[in-house]
A and B are shown apart, each in its own frame.
Chain A
Amino acid sequence: MTRLFAAAALALVLAGPAAAECYADYKAKRDEPLKLHYGVAQVSDGNCSPGAAEGELAPRLAGDGWTLLNVLSTFGPEGLEERKASAGAYFLRY
């Protein structure tokens, strides 16, 4: 019984990160001259909410001179295809 539980728990731990992929779409800007972009980026599963994803994305974008304006939503792999065209060059870039 205990062994069964341990195996199930192990399976969950192993499967968790592999199965749940989390993505966020966001808006960012760069000043002087004003540049704007809409992009899609992968975030870690622990940060799979708009509020938490903001904290993870902001430093990543800042490294390239972009200021994160807001995170619109977070979604799984199924939402990637419909956003690919809009994000354009910024699809999974950061």
Chain B
Amino acid sequence: MPEPISSVTDSLKAGNRVVAYGIAGIVLILLAAALFLFLNLPDANAFNAKVERIFVENDDLRTGAEIKLLEILAQSGTSFSEVLTSYRSVIFVLLVFSTALLVAALVFLVMIIALNRRISAIQRSGIQVASLMISREARAVYINDLEFALTEAALETLSVLAEARMDDEVLTGAQIEAVISGRNEADCDEAAGATRVKRLRDTLGNQLVSELLVKTIARRGYVLAVGKDTIRMI
């Protein structure tokens, strides 16, 4: 089914664009917030300036003791300015954290959307083989963790086909027969290989259908192995 696959890649591209714009937006907004915060934090000298103004505006503040008191006030304000610088770094760290969290949240959101679309596409495209494991010892093949028992001959054919697939090769019937029987390809009959493939299809196909579609329930009968709500009649 080519349509859903192409729509998935399209949506992925659109998703990447959304992620890029989203990240840029988040960084911009938080940068603006950081600038606003830093510019609005009171200056360390604000307290000194206030004390100085009190000193200038009150003409009768002139004795040594009063002036000493004002100086002590200004010093306590200056020590508060050290607290302010630590606030600054705390705010900066928090902003960096929130940026990272927001970016991560956005990326995950878009990933979830893309995954949902892919999953629905996969669901529509039928049986997808995610893993295929051939076990010669158990004389079985595991497709998506479902076990299917095979005859010796069918297992041989499947192994040959699997090896060819790993090398990205396509085999003719004669080639299959040649590999399995060990004879020269020229001496082999195309029909012999075709028979082997037919036997493999018959045993595996029968078991696949009985596992995935028409289930046999022992001593009771047969039932379709699909959800009730997925069936529609037209």
Contact = CB atoms under 8 A, between A and B. Distances in A.
Contact of B48 (A34, A37, A38, A88): A34
Which bracket fits the contact residues of A? 10 to 19
Interface string A19-41: 00000010101010111111000
A27 B61 CA distance: 10
Contact of B78 (A34, A35, A85, A87): A34
Contacts of A70: 56
Contact of A35 (B59, B63, B71): B71
Contacts of B89: none
B63 A34 contact: no
Given A29-B55, A69-B55, A34 B62 contact: no
Nearest to A33: B75
Given A27-B55, A34-B75, A70-B56, A86 B63 contact: yes
B50 to A, nearest CB: 10
Interface string A29-70: 101011111100000000000000000000000000000011
Given A85-B63, A86-B63, A33 B56 contact: no
Interface in B24-68: 48, 51-52, 55-56, 59, 61-64, 67
Interface of A is mostly: strand
Given A27-B56, A29-B55, A34 B74 contact: yes
Which bracket fits the contact residues of B? 10 to 19
Given A29-B55, A69-B56, A72-B59, A34 B71 contact: yes
B52 A69 contact: yes
A36 B52 contact: yes
A25 to B, nearest CB: 8
Nearest to B56: A69
Given A86-B64, A88-B64, A34 B52 contact: yes
Interface of B: 48, 51-52, 55-56, 59, 61-64, 67, 70-71, 74-75, 78
17 contacts: A27-B55, A27-B56, A29-B55, A34-B52, A34-B75, A34-B78, A36-B52, A36-B55, A36-B67, A37-B67, A38-B61, A38-B62, A69-B55, A70-B56, A86-B62, A86-B64, A88-B64
Given A27-B56, A29-B55, A86-B63, 16 more contacts: A27-B62, A33-B71, A33-B74, A33-B75, A33-B78, A34-B51, A34-B71, A34-B74, A36-B51, A36-B52, A36-B71, A38-B62, A38-B63, A69-B52, A70-B56, A72-B59
